[in-house]
Amino acid sequence: MTRRVDGYALGTFSDGNGEFAGLVSGDRVMPLEAATVRDLLDEWESVRDRLPERAATLADGGGRPLAELAVRAPVMPRQIIQAGANYRSHVAEIVLSGREPDDTRSDEELRREAETMMDEKTRTGSPFFFSGLPAAICGPDDDVLLPAESAKVDWEVELTAVIGKTAHRVPRERVMEHVAGFTVCNDISARDLQFPPEHRPLGGDWIRAKNRPTFLPTGPFITPVEVLGDYREREITLDLNGERKQSDVPANLLFDVEAIIAAASTATTLYPGDLVLTGSPAGNGGKWQRWLGPGDVVEAGISGIGVQRNTCVQEPR
């Protein structure tokens, strides 16, 4: 697909002879000296201030045409931390869809109760986390493989923070010092494998449901914090075969990026290149009772970062 970057961003590219880390601005790419984007992020404090000057040279026709390169997942992280049920719209949707058959409350009553519950959780609670596996990552243009074992493969577009400085027990007021930038992830999930009856008492089966190969399309690029501006105002969308299924803004997160990373860094240590997914808005497959099938095209995007376009294919046995 045709892409163009306002400002500048980091990415991983392939020219057929191998992959390389690059700086992209407009429709041009400058190969960087670092072997990988993660290597670059390991030195982020000393690198970030030099990027604007280097990006300016691309405006004069330097570098290589973006259109001639394949765009890969921008970074291979050491760790993936995911926040669940973190958009107000999504939580309200879960409450409504989980109504018991004998519940006589109206939808409006349920929404009001959900709002009260969310306000209390934001005030006194903490984010819900689970971990992902880097082996699930694929690029922003790669095919998503649908496993034969599942008939309910779902989508969830998410704003994703990319760590640029090792973080442990970081207070929220200093969190953004540890974030290099943001990218797009689509948390693909096999819902009928997520809570199998035999394992339900133990919780969700996150490995089988969410960490299959290609179940985490990532990219196209990492937009640095100083380029993106206020992440809360970014439009986050997902289209299935050209039909809008998800649309929201991160201002509607229950726990914002600062709260999520502060909590995650208390539980563990975050390293440069790690991905922290912040949750997905309402409108996934469960809402529409529509699941992914061969030939479906999913376009997940965030304004200021870019769009990924993945075609679903049946996984070969």
Please tell me whether residue 252 adopts helix, strand or coil conformation: helix
Whole-number Å distance between alpha carbons of 161 and 314:
30
Instruction: Report residue 98's pLDDT band, with 50, 70 and 90 as the boundaries.
Output: low
Tokens read off for 98: 């989980």
Name the pTM for this structure: 0.93
Instruction: Report residue 215's pLDDT band, with 50, 70 and 90 as the boundaries.
Output: very high
Q: Fold for 80-314, please state it.
A: Fumarylacetoacetate hydrolase; domain 2 (3.90.850)
Q: Is 304 left (phi over 0), alpha (psi -120 to 50) or beta?
A: left
Residues 187 and 216: beta-carbon distance below 8 Å: yes
What are the residues facing 300 on neighbouring strands? 238, 308
Whole-number Å distance between alpha carbons of 79 and 273:
8
* Dihedrals phi, psi of 264, to nearest 5 degrees: -65, -40
Closest CA to 218 of 297, 140, 301: 140
Q: How many CB atoms lie within 10 A of CB 49?
A: 9
Is residue 114 pLDDT above 90, yes or no?
no
Tokens read off for 255: 């726990």
The mean pLDDT value of the chain amounts to: 93
In this prediction, residue 97 carries a pLDDT of 65
Is residue 103 pLDDT above 80, yes or no?
no
Whole-number Å distance between alpha carbons of 230 and 238:
20
In this prediction, residue 203 carries a pLDDT of 84
* Dihedrals phi, psi of 309, to nearest 5 degrees: -135, 110
Q: Any alpha helices (H) in the chain, and if so which ranges?
A: 37-42, 44-47, 51-58, 88-97, 107-124, 191-194, 206-210, 225-228, 257-267, 285-288
Closest CA to 98 of 216, 187, 195: 195
In this prediction, residue 119 carries a pLDDT of 73
Domain ranges of the chain: 5-72, 80-314
CA angle in degrees (0–180, nearest 5) for 95-100-102 = 135
Q: How many CB atoms lie within 10 A of CB 94?
A: 14
pLDDT tens readout for residues 238-288: 999 999 999 999 999 999 999 999 999 999 999 999 999 999 999 999 889
